[in-house]
Amino acid sequence: MLKLNQKFIKIPKIPSKSLKLKKMFALKALIPLMLFVIIKSQKAPVPNKKCLDCICFVESQCKALKCQWDDDAVSCGYLQIKLNYYKDCGTPDLKKGEKVEDGWQRCALNKDCAYKCMTNYMNRYFSLCKRPNASVCEKWSRIHNGGPNGCSAARTDIYWAKIKKCGAN
């Protein structure tokens, strides 16, 4: 009993089974959320420098190329980053009040920012790659070239062959 303002209030006991069930249900409800947070917060493994150099070389001969029309959209800079890719990588180094289009072009033409964008993109999509025997370099290359599902897309075979020819594996 609890004494409150000189009155006694009887607090009913909750049966222990009922409380255990409620706790178990709450835990079961939290598990998928916790797994989602863990998976989304994982960082992609980083390929070796040779791989990153080859991606840069295949994309632009590692030069800050001006923005130009590519296969299906405008691509810019060292890694030939498209606007949607830049948005997906979290718009790194976007200045307050700056238009996303301006931040994208500036970032793509800055090697450090372009690499930061690619790393963010891989952190976001690397877990989607279902090629168990592929190297980290192959996964990065295919995702960079083919988007979130590029790892399983045959259209990235030619790109991966170019990366391997450059000397990466």
Domain boundaries along the sequence of the chain: 49-166
pLDDT band at 51 (very low <50, low <70, confident <90, very high): very high
Catalytic entry in 53, 59, 72, 98: 59
- Average pLDDT (146-159) is 97
- On the question of pLDDT at 157 being above 90, the answer is yes
Domain at 49-166: CATH architecture: Orthogonal Bundle (1.10)
- Does the active-site annotation cover 59? yes
pLDDT at 36: 45
Percent of the chain with pLDDT over 90: 73
Angle among Cα 66, 68, 71 to the nearest 5 degrees reads: 140
pLDDT at 23: 61
End-to-end CA distance of the chain: 72
More confident position, 164 or 15: 164
- Measured CA to CA, the distance from residue 19 to residue 42 in angstroms comes to 34
pLDDT at 91: 99
- Nearest alpha carbon to residue 154 among 162, 165, 146: 146
Contacts of 159 (CB under 8 A, 6+ apart): 58, 141, 142, 145, 146
Catalytic entry in 70, 102, 112, 157: 70
pLDDT digits (tens, 9 = 90+) for 93-143: 999 999 999 999 999 999 999 999 999 999 999 999 999 999 999 999 999
pLDDT at 35: 42
Q: Which pTM was predicted?
A: 0.76
pLDDT at 62: 98
pLDDT at 71: 86
- On the question of pLDDT at 4 being above 70, the answer is no
- Average pLDDT (65-84) is 96
pLDDT at 39: 45
pLDDT band at 38 (very low <50, low <70, confident <90, very high): very low
- On the question of pLDDT at 17 being above 50, the answer is yes
